Structure formats: C-alpha cells, structure tokens
Amino acid sequence: MIDRDCVGDDDIFTFIKPAIDIHTLGIATATTFLKECGFHVEVLPAVCEKAVENIEVDKNRKVIRKWLHEKHIDHIGYSYRLDPGEGERLFYAFYSFLRNEKLLKEQGGSIRKVYFSGLPETCKRLAIGCGDRVIFFEGEETPEEFLRKIGVPDNLYPQSLKEENSYDKKRWQIAGEFLKDDSFQHIKAPSHAGYPDYGSLTDSLEKRLKYIADTKSTPIIRAHIGPFNENKKIALDQYSNWVKRLALSGYLDVLSIGSSQLTQSHFEKSWDGLLNGGGVPIQTSEEYLRVYEDARPMLVRSYAGTDNLRSMAEIHEKYLNIAWHALSFWWFNRLDGRGPLDLQENLDQTFDAMRFIAFSKKPLEANVSHHFAFRGADDVTYIASNYLTAKAAKNNGIRTYVVQNMLNTPKLTWGIQDIAKARAMLKLVRKLEDKNFRIIFETRAGLSYFSPNLEKAKRQLMAVTMLMDDIEPEKILSPEIIHVVGYSEAQYLADPNIVDESIKMTLFARKQYRMLKQKERILESNENEEINSRTDVLYRDALQLINDMETMIADLYSPWGFFEAFRGGYFPVPQLWAERETFKNAIDWEVRFTNGGYHVVDEKGKSMSMNERLLKVKTLRWGKEREE
C-alpha cells in the first residue's frame, strides 16, 4: 500500500509520459504548482520519454532505472490521455517495471507514490488491477484537490489558488440557466449555402465568410474529428460514415481532420512497427481524396506534416482543396516530440511551405500561441509569438491570416484575462492589415478545459461561448470562426451526434447571451475597466518585447531570426519537454499563475517588468556568445 502521509520537504517529483502522447499542459500546470509549494520537479529527458514508450525492452528499462536513481525520484506521475486501451497497456507495463525492479517504497525502493492521469475510462480500467496502490486523476480535479490528493499540506498552497473572479462566477450561473432550457436541441442548422460556389471546387473560406457577413448569419463553425481504431480499414470506414453524416446534417462548415501522428510524420511511408497513438490513420493521397468527397459541401482542413512540410502542403492543396493551411513554426518537431526535425530545420521548411501557400492564395493559420502556453509560457509570449508569425506571413505573400485564439489555456486563466489577451493580440496583428493582408479571428475552448462530467462539460461549453462573445461585443460577426470542441472530449471522442449537439449548444448560448446583454449588464463597469487596464499592459509589454527583438535580431522575420528569438530566451518556456540543454536560455525562467494570468517572475516570486525581463534576455544572450 502507498503511504498517503504528507509529502516530505525534500521530496522530488517527476512526470512521465510516452513520447506518442503530446498532451503536456496538465503536466506543466502540476509542475508549476508543485514548484510554487516549494518542491523540486525533475523534467523527464527525451531519451527517457522514448524509453517509457517501450519499457518492455531491456535497454529501455536500464535507461529509466538509471535516471530515477540519479535524480533521487520520490514521486512519479504517469500521464496518458489518448486511447484507453493503449493507456491501460502502457501504464501496466510501466508499473510492472517498477514492481519487478523493486523500486517502490513498500518493496524497499525509493518511490513513495505513483500517480496516473488519464481519461476516466483508462483510470477505471487501471483501478481494477492497481487499486489504491496508485492515485488516479481524471482531469476533473481543481489544483487544490490535486495538491491534497498527493499529500501537500494546506499551508503550502499558493495564494493564487484562493483568488476568484466574479465575471467567471456570473457566466457559470448564466450557463446553468441556459442548460435548463433544452430548446437548444431544436436549433436549426444555419443556411450558408446561398452563394454560387458553395460546396464546389472553387468554394473557399473567404467566399463563405463574405456570404455570412452579407446575410448577417452565424460564424463559420469548425470541429476537429478523428476516430481511432487499431484496424486501419475499420477506422477509415468509420470516419467516412461520420463525415457523411456531418455533411448531411449541415451544422458544420469546416471539417478539421483529426489525423493520426503517423499521418503527420510518415505520410505515404511504411508504418510497420510504429505506434499510432490516436486520430484517424490517413496514409495515402487517395484516402485524403475520399475524405474530401465525403465532406462536401463542408470545407476541409488538416494538420500540417512534421517533415517535408512543403510537399504535405502541396498534397493538402491537391487532394483536399484545403480551406486554409496551418503551420506550427517553433512546434511539431523535436522540441515537443511531434517530429524528426530540429528547430532550425523545422523553421526552414515552414517558411518554404509558407511561400507555397502564398502562391496557392490560400489563408494561413499559425498553430503557435497555445503551444507556448502548453510549455509554461507567460501571457505576453502567447500574444507576441502570434504577431511574429502574422508579420512573417505577410512578408512572405500570405493575403489572409487566421488568428487562432485558444481560451482557457491554461484552464485556470480568468475570463477577464482571456478577454484582455485576445484584445491585445488582435490590436497588435490588426496593425498589419492593409488592402493586401486580412485578419480573420478564430477562437475555441481550451484543450484541457472540459470536465469528464458531461453535464458540467455542457455548462462549460455554454460558458466559454459567452466568453467568446465578450471579446469584441460591438461586432456582429466576431469571432468569424468558432472552433467548437465537443463537450465529451474529456470523457471520449465526439462522434457526429455529439458534434452536432455541441454546435447547437454553442449557437444557442451565443444567441441567448446576446439577447440577455440587451436587457442587463453582465460585465460591470469596474470589470470593463480592469479588462481595459490588463489589455493595455499586455499590449504595451508585447510591443516592447517585439520592438526589442526587431532591434536586436537581424532579419527577425526569417527562419534564422525566429530560431534566434527562441534560443535567445525571448519566449520563456520553463516546461519545455525536450532539447532543454540546447535551449537553456528558453527554460531559464519561472512563470507563475498570479491574479488570473501567467507572468514571468523573479527569484523572489515577484512579477518582472518588461525592462527587467529584457535585461535578463541580454544577459543570457551575451553569456552564451561569450561561451561560444
């Protein structure tokens, strides 16, 4: 049995996940709060992450055993948020390794406690075999509950966890009232079919948006869908069925293909012996074409590749008539374990792909800001990184740029801070607009926002829809694109019924909230003042950060410039999962949740001014130059 007494002052934690699972936000959040409580957390190196994936191999067991011993690990948290069957197999293999090697405290080893975080179904399966020897987290837990379950004394909890925000409480109450009114089930699919090119080979995001703007209809609705099955044919047939059902129901404008990791990394290559992880396993151009034909009249988009980026963009253009492309710039490579390229190679290929996208005259979305947040970045980094990609896109001939804004990321972020972040980011990127460059605003709920409790998740979906509507309340069509996350995602993949129901709830909440705001004030004057103040600070700090980069880095808006900005430490990512030795300047920061947002702090835990932060960047960079 695991000792459930309070953790010791000198206890050392680590969080482990297989390389195939890219979900790191929960790990980053847990790490942040444990550090604020005064505990030391060791970040698992990439070589160990790969070893965990195949722990049955003797050399991999030796790698993990050696690392655990050298780092004097007392507590291990294991995270896997993909397919429950795979999660059950992988964790049992790892836990068996701990027991067989007699590494647990009860066996005379050093590991005091073992935790598992995953989907509720995975936790249920594992609990049957592990019982209370493992402490389980399903994602529903508050930070206080997380700290309490692992045994952190109450007196060590950060003060930030005890702060609350009235705007969020109010939205939560309103969402509860909306949910009681089940008339959302009768919301009809918006008709966006009134223009000549609708659903044809010449249809486009811009044409659909123009029709919506002219008719004052609802925003474009996008959803990300991709069922997983180990049998490739079954998975593709199921996906074909799902896509046809969504096309027929008419609620969805844009099908976002939830493709597998192997689709992104090994397209039209052999998959023999490789783990897939999750997502629909599309391997060939013909399979892409099948999706496109099944999806019409919906528009279609997909992830970029993780290698041969330009070639993948060309394939997406030819076989999907892709509505808009998405590139990840600093991400989807060795930094986050998503691909084989190092950062410089990834940026070189990204800019090359971007030039092709400009030639194709298709819009571009930067899949960037929230990935910085996943690695522990602060809110200013979230904003500034999107501006850099927008300007790089404009400089390389892109005419339409989609600003993606993931709310609730991390999920503790207060609503007023989310509004301020979005407004500051939009204010910055819209400075770039002219007759040849257009900004389209897309927003969505956070990746880890939803509860496994489905009734609570429905309420969350309505609450975040209201938050979206308060970002630019004066605009009839804002956001122009809503990426609807299925309310079931924390429990199981959203099928067509869940997708359509989630869209109905989103449209209903948006309509009802707008009507309610005509009758009564939701954001009080002091809250609006607070939002304006936060927006101004975020905008000013992001602009100062950008101006310094433009001054200090030659040819900033190039692959080498982006590499130097990251390597130099302009974008703090203290929870970077890999390449930590290579990018020491990027991880040599502390970011804390304070007053509803995420801020860079000094060694005393005080928020750093931008002047102090830039001085530290210069010190880090000069020190590195002297070493070289």
| DSSP states of 482-522 | EEPPPTTTTTS---HHHHHHHHHHHHHHHHHHHHHHHHS-S
Task: Pull the structure tokens for residue 229.
Answer: 């099955």
pTM metric for this prediction: 0.86
Distance CA 535, CA 424 (A): 5
Give the residue from 33, 46, 43 showing the smallest Cα distance to 13. Answer: 43
> Whose structure tokens read 């991709």?
226
More reliable by pLDDT, 625 or 467: 467
Task: State the first-to-last Cα distance of the chain, in angstroms, to the nearest integer.
Answer: 51
Confidence at 3, pLDDT banded by 50, 70, 90: very low
What pLDDT, on the 0 to 100 scale, is given for residue 628?
Answer: 46
Tell me which CATH code domain 12-156 carries: 3.40.50.280
pLDDT (mean) for 79-88: 84
pLDDT of 1 higher than 50:
no
Q: Which residue has the tokens 């990018």?
A: 583
Q: Which residue has the higher pLDDT, 318 or 160?
A: 318
Residue of 412, 372, 460 whose CA lies nearest to 596: 412
Domain segments of the chain: what residues? 12-156, 544-627
- Is residue 567 within 8 A of residue 587, CB to CB? The reply is no
pLDDT at residue 236, rounded to an integer: 96
pLDDT of residue 150: 85
Q: pLDDT band for 69, please (50, 70, 90 cuts).
A: very high
Return the bridge partners of 245, or none.
Answer: none
Asked if 365 and 402 touch (Cβ cutoff 8 Å), the reply is: yes
Q: What is the pLDDT of residue 169?
A: 93
Residues of the chain with pLDDT > 90: what percent? 71
- Contact (Cβ atoms closer than 8 angstroms) between residue 447 and residue 23: yes
For residues 478 and 501, give the distance between their C-alpha atoms in angstroms, rounded to a whole number. Answer: 21
Distance between CA 74 and CA 111 in Å, rounded? 5
**pLDDT for res 2:** 42
Query: Which whole number is the average pLDDT over 129-147?
Result: 83
User: SS3 letters for 120-189?
Assistant: HHHHHHHHHHHHHHCEEECCCCCHHHHHHHHCCCHHHCCHHHHCCCHHHHHHHHHHHHHHHCHHHHHCCC
Q: Using 50, 70 and 90 to split pLDDT, how confident is the model at 22?
A: low
pLDDT band at 247 (very low <50, low <70, confident <90, very high): very high
Q: Which of 544, 527, 534 is nearest to 594 (CA)?
A: 534
Q: How high is the pLDDT of residue 626?
A: 45
Question: Is the pLDDT score of 24 beyond 70?
Answer: no
Q: For 283-299, how does the pLDDT look when each residue is reduced to its tens digit (9 = 90+)?
A: 999 999 999 999 999 99
CB 115 within 8 A of CB 135: yes
Q: Residues of the chain with pLDDT > 70: what percent?
A: 96
Type and span of the H or E element at 550: helix 525-552
Please, are residues 53 and 171 in contact by the beta-carbon 8 Å criterion? no
Q: Please give the residue that has the higher pLDDT: either 238 or 490.
A: 238
Give strand pairing partners of 78: 16, 116
CA nearest 157: which of 23, 377, 7? 7
H/E stretch holding 393: helix 379-395
Regarding predicted confidence, which is higher, 178 or 164? 178
Cα–Cα distance, 362 to 341 (Å, whole number) = 25
> Is pLDDT at 19 greater than 70 in this prediction?
no
